[in-house]
Homo-oligomer: A and B are copies of this chain.
């Protein structure tokens, strides 16, 4: 039977790929237990739950981080994550734009700038839209 840690690692890898590994590695010298908690609770407990599909979970996260405006690096990680689990660029752009209604135009503008940067990182030279 899979442990919380193993399940979390699998989910983290499915959603964040290499970026997840980098975040975990960055915690190794300062707070290794926190890396373990990050794998176990958000990914092993929450993201692994049934009841809401992974695409919708990632759109909810991108919307929330856009609205909060306090976590720019994590917003970019989760825009990548949303694309990794199958969200389209259009769906993400719509969810971010919608935050103008709930958190104001600056929040939405900064969210769109993050999305633009992520989209460019993933398709620097061709027309791919994933």
Contact = CB atoms under 8 A, between A and B. Distances in A.
B103 A73 contact: no
A1 interface: no
Interface residues of A, number: 60
Contacts of A23: 109
B46 A98 contact: yes
A37 B4 CA distance: 12
A119 to B, nearest CB: 7
A108 B116 CA distance: 26
A60 B104 contact: no
Interface string A82-113: 00000000110111111111111111111011
Interface string A54-76: 00110111111111111101100
Interface of A: 23, 26-27, 29-31, 33-34, 37-38, 41-42, 45-47, 49, 51-52, 56-57, 59-71, 73-74, 90-91, 93-110, 112-113, 115-116, 119
